[in-house]
Every structure is written in structure tokens, then in C-alpha cells.
């Protein structure tokens, strides 16, 4: 150990002057001598406070003395001792202890038997006490050398101006009073129960047999704080209907339902576990729905809602909601923030509902937009399912005291045949229509059925259900679009028309619309939606230009004909003349562009080939001079309209057919002969443009 | 007969039915042209010609903007900008997507063609295109909410025999909090409906309301001269000076009396152009009460009542109420 100290001695802090010939220099003392065999502390503790202190080496002092209580690592109080000074004054000694200090090599040294003298402002190391321990002190040439009994140097101190020998130590203080705490730290903040177990069962050696009392350790709290456990049973037990109502909003659910609903709101009566559900578009509707629900439910039961438990969502904690509850004396149980577990009943219900909805939609391949109907249906069913909290009852019975009949239950999205009333059909018409079952109507004793062709919901009690078959939902939508696009007058093909109305069948009296889930009657869908859900021919409406290459086009009869037409039109317009290329002129390339023109139904109307000039090859000043086009000011347009209005003149409008351009070119422009239309034998010649062609810089003026 | 040409679209009208027919035939022969009959759509403006007058609107365009920016279902408001709104370049808040901001401002700028009521608010928000923050974006959204409630608003040009050009010129003072520049605005009428208007931040900082009004007036005088030239080319030469109504008496006096006053001596020479025009009788400055100063619409955000009043005066009608 001595050798390891020596090896790192050269960088010790207390080294006043380093001597190259004598590298065995240490601090004032080495730890291994002072410490007992049991406490060889050569690891540094994390919780030590360092403060530098000045120590004077004093031959005239009987003991080591220190005036700062905080510097002591261990301190035991002693009484009735005094220290006498040169002026015969006496000061009290309050205790005796050990001081730890850090050596530069990371070890910890100790000075034992240091008196604690509170009145002392400086710290004194007694040379006599050091010598008792076996150190040797050599004072020579203004330098004091402290040597270990084995002979190596511990410190070399130079005499200061005032003829004192001053030594600086970095004192360490352990922040623990308790041995138990120390071991708690050493075991990496192991909990005290663990330490106790280690001691009691003697699992390790060297751990002192002390009592590990539970102490407060801030680092443990900051590092290991866990959430408080939740009670299994609630304190607030209700014995009657509406004693407590749990409520929660679930959402945002995508996609939005057919009527634009994005959330659903549940109310659960704690006594009976009966659930009511409402679908919402926006969260702010919660307050209105709650008022509606309250009136409805209190009227039904003749008791009042006593308490409402909800989370701290803005919809529940809004000023108006709180005031409303206050005025009606409804107790509010809010959860602590970030503890949705406290609203467990409602949250669990949401999970149960959504599980059921997912299963129902998935099981029958229903489109997800039907979720709102499925939620209604799921809650209807769940009120007729057993519940863990109710002993042998279902929520519906616990609520109303009657056992309900479930023989009418049906599978969601089954094909259902609804009877058409005699008033609405002629003798030879079908007596039934094929619809989809989507739920149970609460108001009438009947089934809610969805007509996928007209996109309407109707309620009927004369229903025959086909349990085997499901309605293929994707086929329905395609079909309804196909029928609509054929007959409706909407400008389907125009790029500005973004919506089409799916419904073009007049409403029938018999059809009753559900309040919660609005009818799908005025539903509109964007074109993009339709493209996404169908793979129909409408896709090609989006295509502007065809990626047809000349090599492909020239073998295709349709395109060939289109090119012939274009060349004929150009020549009829006297656009160019075959000529020789003058000296110094550079011909500009031409290119064929192929387009399919569509009509409004998305069918190909015409194949169009257009010859364009590679205008980007033109040079300013040579091939063209100016590029602007005549435009009018908006103000002038309005002025003319104003004048026309004042004079009652009709305004007419004309549009230049853009087949070709009429502008006569001032500049001499030569173009290459178009591909496929080279004059035989005159391939070298170029075309002298008299009129503008598309692609030319002059085109806007022409 | 007047012909108005925009690249390959042209509109024309005239008092001689034969002449217009002949023109049509000639054009069809010379170029391959399609006769679209009565003017219905021109440069995005929807024109509706009735016995009583002509409506010009951009209803469809406004709806397209709303749905493009997903505001088709927003709550409408009655004015495009709250009174006393002071936007600043240094308004806090996160930066918003510059492309989206600029695209929306650009769309609204074209909407101004038939919507002078949007002129000021769009002008203000477009000052912050460079570093637009959330505050500016909110102001922009409010304009959209206003548009949502007023898509059917349109200009209505009626029949009259009054070919007199009348201008209104107004200015606020130090409306711009960053540079302390004022906003000037003018609007010109023939008969009952405005047809040309402007709202513009002044190029200089002015020291008094009078000076600000004076600068605004000189802008409107320039425009009046151009309009007079245009009208005389259309053989509707204005008899007498064009009346420009200003609600600041000292500005009028400043235009009439070519004396240098202590407080006006610093005014730039170019703004004294107005004096020459007044002297030559091309324009005439007339005082108007602040209540009837229609150009007020183009200089500061107004409360609902005033705003609606000026909107009526400018000749805007709600398409649904007709």
C-alpha cells in the first residue's frame, strides 16, 4: 500500500515543491497507519463534503486541535477539559474526534484524536502527537520534512513569511450520522428491509449487526418514487339508483361516423351498472347531453342524480358544468391528475364497449364508419350481459327490476328483409326489401335497418333475418356510386367540383331516422374518398397527359391519325414553309405531345397529338425579342362592366379556339422537320416558321 | 364599342347591335373563335346580367378558398378584422408554415377583385408574409371566417345617367406600429357603385393627420388623372373637375393655398402635385363629414355597424337578399 501511495505521490495537492530525486512524497499522513484493520477505507464515498482548511504544524501544541465542527468525520463529546494559551487564557474543549481528508491519489486519510475547540479559529497539528505515532520531523533550511516511520517522505513544507509551517488539507466530511445510513449508501441505496435481512440471516460477512431503522433518504424518493397503489374497493358505496354516475368521453375515433360523430359519451349508473351512450361531434356537447340525460333519467326513476364521477377533462370541469352541478347539489368526484384509474368504472366500460365494437365490425367486415351504430348496439347488448359487480343479475334487471327477453337479439350486419307495407307497393312488387341489420331502436319496438342503396336508416318490426349471410359493404358503396354518377347532374368530371351528393332518391315517409346517428341522406363524399375506396374507371379523370412515346404512337393507328390531323391543320394555317437553312441560323427542335381528351363520363373522346417547339432552345435577341402578352387591368374590366350597366348594354364574350396560333412572327425562326413527316429526299431542309407554334417564346403574343 | 382583351379571352360591348354582330362575324372568320354569348365568367369573375343591373361576384372562388383551407364549416363573423387590431412584425408566437400563409394571402388577394370590403384586412396581413407568426395567422383565419359568412356578397352595378367620376380619399395616422406609417385609401365611383379602390401603406412617415391625408389625397389625384384619361379615350370625357372628397379640412386648404406653412414646409414636392391639378381644375377637393367618408373602409378596421354601412354605400349587395 505504501508503494502505491508513493507512485502517485507526485501529483498530490499538498505537495509544496516537487523534487525530482525524491519521489516518495506523501501527505501529512498515510491512512494505513492511522486506521485500524477493520476500517481500511480506500474507496471514496459519494456523500462527502469537501472544504479546504489550513493547518499549522506546531511544536508547542500538546494536541491536534480544530475549531470547526463540520470538519469532523466522527466526533464524541467530552467535557471538563481546557486548553491553555500563552496569555494564560483557557478555552473549552468540546469533543474529540477524527478528521478525514482526501489524498491526491483518491485515498482517504484520517487524523485521529483531534480536539474540538470551538473558540479556535485556526487548526493546529501537534508535532509531538505526530512523533508519538512514529513520524519523524526534520527541520532544515527553512523547510520542514515530515517522514513516515518507514522512511518515505509524507510532506515537505516551506516556512512562510511569518515563520510558520502551513499545511493545506482537503477535509472530507461524511454527511451521515448513522452507521445504518452509511450502509444504506454503500449498498447503493438498498432499502432498509433488505439490509435488515442481510444482517438477520447473516448472508454476508463484515456487516455490523446493528438495527436498520427506516430513515428518510431524499435520493431514494427522487430516484425511486412510485405511484401510489389504488384501493381495490371504493369507499363511496351506493345503495340506490343514481347514487353515483360514472361518465367519460371516449375518442377521438377515426374515421368519423357517417353523420360526423367523433366521440362517444357514456353514463354508467354505479348501482345497476346500466350504461347509456351518446355519440358526439365535439366535446363541448357533453354539457348539453348531460343536462338532457339528467332530465330523462330523473323523470324515469323519480330519484335524483346524487354524484357524478368523471375525469378532469375540460368538458367536465368547465365553469358552466361545475356551476350547474353546484346549483343542483350534485357532488362531483374528480380524479387526481393523471390518474384515470380513479375513474375506473367508466374507463373499463369504454374498453369493454370498444372491444365489442371492434369484434362486431371485424366479424362481419363492416366499414369502420359504422362504429357509432355498433357502439349503440354494443351498449344495448351489454346492458343485458352479466356484470362482475352484480350478483347474478344483469344491469337491465338491476336497474328496472325486470328480467328482459333476449330472443329478439340479432347479429350485427346481418342481412335483414324488411316487409314493405301494402300502402307502398303495387300488387306485383316485391313484398320485402333487402337491408342490413344495424341495431335496436330504443323508442319503438323494432329493428334499425340500413338501406345501402339509398343510404338511409329505417325502423321496421316486420323483419326476416338471414343469419347466414353478411352484407358485403365495399360492394355496396361502389354500387351506390355507380348509380349516382350515371344519373346525377353534378359536374363529375370538372376539377372544381369536389363533392358529389350520393343521395338522389326522394325521401319516403316510412323511413324514420335515428336521432343519434343521423341519416345518411345528405351524405357527401369527396372525389378523393371515392377514388380511395373504389378501383373504378373514374381514375383516369385525373390523368392530364399521356406518357406515350413517339415510337409507340407511330405504330398505333389512333395516334397516327391524330398526328396526320395536326400536320394538316398546321399546313392549312400556312404556318411554315420548307426552305434551306441559311448560313449561321440554327434550327430549333420540335417534339410531339400526345393527349387523350376525356369527356365528362371519363371516356376517351379524342386522341390529340400536338406538335410543340422546344422553345427553351431559343436565344433572346436572335430568335425572339419580346414575350409579354396583352392583359387587362382588373379595374378596367370593372369600369367597363360599370359603363355597360349604366348604358344597359349587353356584354358579349368570345374565346379564341386554341387549336393553333395566329400570330405572325417578326423574327426568322427555323425548326426541324417533325418526326414522321420528313419530306422524302429533302431531309436536310428545315421549316421556316411564319406563324407561331406552341412552345415558342412568342406563343403568348400570338 | 369597347373591346377588352386578356390574352385569348375577350369581352366586348357596344351601343350598336349591328356593329357588335359584325365584329363577332369578322372575328370568327379571322381567327377560329367561339362565341360564348353573354358574358358569364371572365377571369374568375362571375357576371350576371339582369334588366336592372349587373352583378359581379366570386362566390365560387371564395368557397373554393374556404374548402381548400378547411374553413368551410367555421363560424362566421361580421367583420374581417377586429377594430383596434394592431398587428406587429414582432408579434410573439410560433412561426407558421410560410408556404401556407402566403398561399392563403395570395388567394385572398385575388378575391379582392370583387370584394373591396376585404381590401384593408388582406392588405394588413400581407405585410407580414415574410415572418408570419401565429398571431398573424389568427388574423388571417378571421378574414376567412368573415368570408365564410359573406360568400354571397357581390358588387351590383345599376343603370344610371350619371357619368360623373367621384372619388373618396382618406387616411389613418400611424396605423402601422412598427414603422409608424399611415395607411391611405381611396375609392372611385361612377354612379352608385365603386369600381376602383386602393388601400396602401404610405411610403413615408407623416408628422400630422393633415399630412397623412394630404399624401393620401395626392395618391387619389394621380389615380383620378389616369381615370380621366381612360374615360376620355372611351369618349366619356369628364366635364369639370373630378370631385375628391376628403374629411380633413386642413388638407383641403393645403391643396388650395400654395403657401408654405411652418408645419407643412417639409412636405415633399411630389405630394404638391395635387396643388397644380387643383389649380388647373382637373380635380376638386371637397370636404365630407367623417360619417360619410366611405374610404374609411380602406384605412382602419371598423366596428360592425359602420362597416356594414360603408359596405352598402360602396354598392355591395348580398346575393341571397335579391
Mean pLDDT value across residues B261-270: 77
Among A631, A641, A659, the residue with its CB nearest the CB of B32 is A659
Q: Are B215 and B206 in contact (CB under 8 A)?
A: yes
Residue among A136, A123, A113 nearest A167 (CA)? A123
Chain-chain contact of B38 with A653 (C-beta, under 8 angstroms): yes
Residue among A505, A461, A508, A466 nearest A484 (CA)? A505
pLDDT band per the 50, 70, 90 thresholds, residue A109: confident
Mean pLDDT value across residues B20-34: 79
Q: Strands A245-251, A307-310: parallel, antiparallel or unpaired by DSSP? A: parallel
List, in sequence order, the alpha helices (H) in A304-386: 314-317, 319-328, 344-363, 371-382
Cell of A238: 351506493
- Choose between A208 and A461: higher pLDDT: A461
Residue among A271, A277, A336, A346 nearest A305 (CA)? A271
Look over chain B and give the mean of its residue pLDDT values, rounded to a whole number: 86
Chain-chain contact of A630 with B7 (C-beta, under 8 angstroms): yes
* Residues sharing a CB contact under 8 Å with residue A617, sequence separation 6 or more, in sequence order: A588, A589
pLDDT digit string (tens) for A292-309?
999 999 998 889 999 999
Chain-chain contact of B67 with A646 (C-beta, under 8 angstroms): no
- Choose between A248 and B17: higher pLDDT: A248
Among B2, B35, B47, the residue with its CB nearest the CB of A654 is B35
- Residue ranges covered by each domain of chain B: 162-288
Chain-chain contact of B2 with A640 (C-beta, under 8 angstroms): yes
Q: Are A699 and A629 in contact (CB under 8 A)?
A: no
Mean pLDDT value across residues A557-583: 79
Nearest CA in chain A to B3: A640
Mean pLDDT value across residues A353-369: 85
Q: Are A689 and A671 in contact (CB under 8 A)?
A: yes
Mean pLDDT value across residues A378-386: 90
Chain-chain contact of A642 with B193 (C-beta, under 8 angstroms): yes
Question: Is it the case that residue B178 has pLDDT exceeding 80?
Answer: yes
Question: Is it the case that residue A517 has pLDDT exceeding 80?
Answer: no
Q: Are A374 and A279 in contact (CB under 8 A)?
A: no
The CATH architecture of the domain made up of B162-288 is 2-Layer Sandwich (3.30)
Residues of chain B with Cβ-Cβ distance to A651 below 8 Å are 11-13, 38-39, 47, 49, 54
- Choose between B284 and A456: higher pLDDT: B284
pLDDT band per the 50, 70, 90 thresholds, residue A25: very low
Q: What is the pLDDT of residue A263?
A: 92
Consecutive H or E run containing B316: strand B316-318
- Tell whether the torsion through CA atoms of A206, A210, A213 and A218 is positive or negative: negative
Among A632, A641, A656, the residue with its CB nearest the CB of B31 is A656
* Residues sharing a CB contact under 8 Å with residue B235, sequence separation 6 or more, in sequence order: none
Percent of chain A whose pLDDT exceeds 70: 74
Q: What is the pLDDT of residue B216?
A: 92
Among B32, B113, B191, the residue with its CB nearest the CB of A634 is B113
Q: Are A633 and A610 in contact (CB under 8 A)?
A: no
* Cα–Cα distance, A527 to A538 (Å, whole number): 9
- Choose between A288 and A28: higher pLDDT: A288
Q: Are B156 and B266 in contact (CB under 8 A)?
A: no
Min Cα distance B132 → chain A (Å) is 28
pLDDT digit string (tens) for B212-221?
999 999 999 9
Q: Which segment of A174-183, A472-481, B171-180 scores lowest on mean pLDDT?
A: A472-481
Residues of chain A with Cβ-Cβ distance to B161 below 8 Å are 646
Torsion of CA A620, A626, A629, A630, to 10 degrees: 180
Residue A245 burial by CB count (10 A; 0-12/13-18/19+): exposed, middle or buried? buried
CB atoms under 10 Å from CB of B287, counted, come to: 13
End-to-end CA distance of chain B: 30
Chain-chain contact of A639 with B230 (C-beta, under 8 angstroms): yes
- Choose between A78 and B60: higher pLDDT: B60
Question: Is it the case that residue A538 has pLDDT exceeding 60?
Answer: no
Mean pLDDT value across residues B128-153: 89
Residues of chain B with Cβ-Cβ distance to A648 below 8 Å are 159
- The gap from C-alpha A468 to its chain's centroid, in whole angstroms, comes to 43
Interface predicted TM-score (ipTM):
0.86
Q: Helix crossing, A319-328 with A285-301: angle to 10°?
A: 20
List of domains in chain A: 2-175 (2.40.70.10), 181-224 (no CATH), 245-400 (3.30.420.10), 414-422+429-515+522-539 (no CATH), 550-701 (no CATH)
Q: What is the pLDDT of residue A130?
A: 84
To the query of whether residue A58 is one of the catalytic residues in this protein, the response is yes
Mean pLDDT value across residues A405-430: 85
Q: Which segment of A25-39, A273-287, A554-568 scores lowest on mean pLDDT?
A: A25-39
* Residues sharing a CB contact under 8 Å with residue A471, sequence separation 6 or more, in sequence order: A364, A413, A415, A436, A452
Q: Are A243 and A271 in contact (CB under 8 A)?
A: yes
Chain-chain contact of B67 with A498 (C-beta, under 8 angstroms): yes
Cell of B281: 381644375
Residue among A519, A410, A511 nearest A463 (CA)? A410
Min Cα distance A276 → chain B (Å) is 30
Q: What is the pLDDT of residue A176?
A: 44
Q: What is the pLDDT of residue A375?
A: 92
Nearest CA in chain B to A629: B7
Residues of chain A with Cβ-Cβ distance to B236 below 8 Å are 643
pLDDT digit string (tens) for B291-311?
889 998 899 899 999 999 998
Choose, from A58, A311, A503, A514, the residue flagged as catalytic. A58
pLDDT digit string (tens) for A126-161?
888 888 888 888 888 888 888 877 777 777 888 887
List, in sequence order, the alpha helices (H) in B179-248: 209-233
Residues of chain A with Cβ-Cβ distance to B8 below 8 Å are 655-656, 658
Grouping H, G, I as helix, E, B as strand and the rest as coil, residue A567 is: helix
pLDDT digit string (tens) for A203-219?
888 887 777 777 788 88
pLDDT digit string (tens) for B69-109?
888 888 889 999 988 888 888 877 788 888 889 999 999 99
Residues of chain A with Cβ-Cβ distance to B230 below 8 Å are 636, 639
Chain-chain contact of A654 with B56 (C-beta, under 8 angstroms): no
Amino acid at each position: 500500500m505504501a508503494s502505491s501511495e508513493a507512485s502517485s505521490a507526485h501529483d498530490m495537492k499538498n505537495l509544496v515543491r516537487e523534487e525530482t530525486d525524491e519521489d516518495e512524497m506523501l501527505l501529512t499522513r498515510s491512512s494505513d497507519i492511522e486506521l485500524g484493520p477493520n476500517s481500511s477505507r480506500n474507496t471514496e464515498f459519494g456523500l462527502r463534503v469537501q472544504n479546504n482548511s489550513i493547518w499549522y504544524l506546531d511544536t508547542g501544541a500538546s494536541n491536534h486541535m480544530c475549531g470547526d465542527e463540520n470538519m469532523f468525520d466522527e466526533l464524541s463529546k467530552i467535557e471538563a477539559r481546557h486548553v491553555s494559551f500563552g496569555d494564560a487564557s483557557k478555552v473549552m474543549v468540546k469533543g474529540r474526534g477524527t478528521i478525514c481528508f482526501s489524498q491526491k491519489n483518491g485515498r482517504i486519510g484520517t487524523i485521529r484524536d483531534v480536539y474540538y475547540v470551538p473558540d479556535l479559529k485556526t487548526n493546529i497539528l501537534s508535532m509531538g502527537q505526530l512523533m508519538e505515532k512514529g513520524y519523524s520531523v526534520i527541520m532544515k533550511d527553512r523547510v520542514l520534512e515530515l517522514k513516515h516511520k518507514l522512511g518515505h517522505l509524507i510532506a515537505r513544507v516551506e516556512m512562510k513569511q511569518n515563520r510558520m509551517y502551513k499545511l493545506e488539507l482537503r477535509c472530507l466530511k461524511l454527511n451521515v450520522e448513522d452507521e445504518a445510513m452509511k450502509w444504506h449508501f454503500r449498498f447503493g441505496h438498498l432499502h432498509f428491509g433488505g439490509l435488515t435481512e442481510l444482517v438477520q440471516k447473516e448472508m454476508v460477512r463484515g456487516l455490523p449487526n446493528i438495527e436498520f431503522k427506516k430513515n428518510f433518504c431524499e435520493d431514494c424518493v427522487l430516484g425511486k418514487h412510485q405511484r401510489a397503489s389504488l384501493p381495490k374497493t371504493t369507499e363511496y358505496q351506493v345503495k340506490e339508483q343514481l347514487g353515483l354516475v360514472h361518465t367519460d368521453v371516449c375518442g377521438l375515433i377515426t374515421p368519423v361516423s357517417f353523420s360526423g360523430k367523433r366521440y362517444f359519451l357514456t353514463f354508467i349508473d354505479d348501482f345497476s351498472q346500466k350504461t347509456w351512450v351518446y355519440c358526439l361531434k365535439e366535446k363541448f356537447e357533453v354539457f348539453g347531453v348531460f343536462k338532457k340525460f339528467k332530465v330523462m333519467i330523473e323523470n324515469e326513476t323519480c330519484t335524483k342524480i346524487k354524484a357524478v364521477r368523471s375525469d378532469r377533462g375540460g368538458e367536465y370541469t368547465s365553469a358552466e358544468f361545475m356551476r350547474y352541478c353546484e346549483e343542483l347539489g350534485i357532488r362531483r368526484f374528480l380524479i387526481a391528475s393523471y390518474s384515470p384509474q380513479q375513474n375506473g368504472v367508466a374507463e373499463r366500460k369504454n374498453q369493454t364497449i370498444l372491444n365489442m365494437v371492434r369484434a362486431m365490425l371485424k366479424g362481419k367486415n363492416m366499414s369502420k364508419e359504422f362504429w357509432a351504430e355498433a357502439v349503440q348496439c354494443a351498449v344495448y347488448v351489454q346492458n343485458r350481459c352479466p356484470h362482475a359487480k352484480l350478483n347474478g343479475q344483469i344491469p337491465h334487471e338491476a336497474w328496472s327490476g325486470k328480467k328482459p327477453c333476449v330472443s329478439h337479439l340479432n347479429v350485427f350486419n346481418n342481412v335483414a328483409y324488411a316487409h314493405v307495407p301494402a300502402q307502398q307497393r303495387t300488387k306485383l312488387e316485391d313484398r320485402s326489401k333487402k337491408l342490413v341489420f344495424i341495431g335496436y331502436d330504443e323508442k319503438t319496438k323494432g329493428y334499425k335497418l340500413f338501406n345501402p342503396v339509398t343510404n338511409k336508416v329505417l325502423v321496421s318490426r316486420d323483419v326476416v333475418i338471414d343469419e347466414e349471410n353478411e352484407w358485403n359493404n365495399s360492394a355496396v358503396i361502389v354500387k351506390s356510386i355507380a348509380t349516382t354518377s350515371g344519373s346525377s347532374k353534378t359536374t363529375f368530371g370538372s376539377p372544381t367540383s369536389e363533392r358529389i351528393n350520393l343521395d338522389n332518391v326522394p325521401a319516403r315517409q316510412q323511413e324514420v331516422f335515428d336521432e343519434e346517428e343521423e341519416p345518411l341522406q345528405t351524405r357527401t363524399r369527396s372525389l378523393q374518398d371515392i377514388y380511395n375506396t373504389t378501383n373504378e374507371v373514374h381514375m383516369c379523370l385525373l390523368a392530364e397527359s399521356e406518357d406515350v412515346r413517339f415510337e409507340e404512337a407511330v405504330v398505333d393507328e389512333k395516334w397516327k391519325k391524330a398526328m396526320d390531323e395536326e400536320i394538316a391543320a398546321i399546313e392549312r394555317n400556312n404556318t411554315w414553309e420548307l426552305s434551306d437553312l441559311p448560313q449561321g441560323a440554327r434550327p430549333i427542335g420540335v417534339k410531339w405531345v400526345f393527349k387523350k381528351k376525356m369527356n365528362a363520363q371519363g371516356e376517351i373522346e379524342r386522341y390529340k397529338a400536338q406538335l410543340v417547339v422546344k422553345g427553351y432552345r431559343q436565344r433572346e435577341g436572335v430568335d425572339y425579342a419580346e414575350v409579354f402578352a396583352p392583359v387587362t387591368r382588373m379595374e378596367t374590366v370593372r369600369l367597363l362592366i360599370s359603363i355597360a350597366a349604366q348604358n344597359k348594354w349587353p356584354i358579349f364574350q368570345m374565346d379564341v379556339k386554341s387549336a393553333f396560333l395566329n400570330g405572325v412572327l417578326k423574327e426568322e425562326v427555323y425548326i426541324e422537320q417533325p418526326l414522321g413527316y420528313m419530306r422524302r429526299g429533302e431531309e436536310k431542309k428545315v421549316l421556316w416558321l411564319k406563324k407561331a407554334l406552341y412552345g415558342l417564346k412568342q406563343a403568348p403574343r400570338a | 364599342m369597347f373591346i377588352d382583351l386578356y390574352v385569348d379571352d375577350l369581352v366586348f360591348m357596344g351601343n350598336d347591335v349591328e356593329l357588335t354582330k359584325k365584329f363577332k362575324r369578322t372575328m370568327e372568320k379571322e381567327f377560329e373563335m367561339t362565341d360564348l354569348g353573354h358574358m358569364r365568367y371572365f377571369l374568375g369573375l362571375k357576371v350576371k346580367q339582369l334588366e336592372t343591373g349587373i352583378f359581379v361576384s366570386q362566390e365560387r372562388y371564395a368557397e373554393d378558398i374556404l374548402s381548400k383551407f378547411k374553413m368551410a364549416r367555421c363560424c362566421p363573423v361580421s367583420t374581417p378584422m377586429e377594430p383596434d387590431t394592431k398587428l406587429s412584425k414582432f408579434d410573439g408566437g410560433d412561426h407558421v408554415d410560410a408556404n401556407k400563409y402566403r398561399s392563403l394571402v395570395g388567394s385572398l388577394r385575388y378575391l379582392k377583385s370583387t370584394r373591396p370590403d376585404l381590401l384593408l384586412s388582406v392588405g394588413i396581413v400581407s405585410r407580414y408574409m415574410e415572418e408570419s407568426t401565429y398571431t398573424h395567422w389568427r388574423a388571417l383565419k378571421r378574414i376567412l371566417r368573415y368570408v365564410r359568412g359573406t360568400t354571397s356578397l357581390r358588387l351590383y352595378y345599376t343603370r344610371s345617367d350619371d357619368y360623373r367620376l367621384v372619388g373618396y380619399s382618406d387616411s389613418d395616422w400611424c396605423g402601422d406600429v412598427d414603422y409608424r406609417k399611415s395607411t391611405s385609401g381611396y375609392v372611385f365611383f361612377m354612379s352608385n357603385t365603386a369600381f376602383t379602390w386602393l388601400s396602401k401603406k404610405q411610403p413615408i412617415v407623416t408628422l400630422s393627420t393633415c399630412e397623412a391625408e394630404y399624401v393620401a389625397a395626392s395618391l387619389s389625384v394621380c389615380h383620378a388623372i389616369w381615370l380621366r384619361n381612360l374615360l376620355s379615350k372611351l369618349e366619356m370625357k369628364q366635364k369639370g373637375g373630378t370631385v375628391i372628397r376628403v374629411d380633413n379640412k386642413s388638407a383641403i386648404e393645403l391643396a388650395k393655398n400654395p403657401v408654405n406653412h411652418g408645419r407643412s414646409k417639409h412636405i415633399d414636392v411630389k405630394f404638391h402635385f395635387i396643388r397644380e391639378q387643383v389649380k388647373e381644375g382637373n380635380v376638386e377637393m371637397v370636404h365630407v363629414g367623417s360619417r360619410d367618408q366611405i374610404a374609411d373602409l380602406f384605412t382602419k378596421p371598423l366596428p360592425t355597424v359602420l362597416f356594414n354601412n360603408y359596405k352598402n354605400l360602396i354598392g355591395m349587395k348580398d346575393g341571397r337578399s335579391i
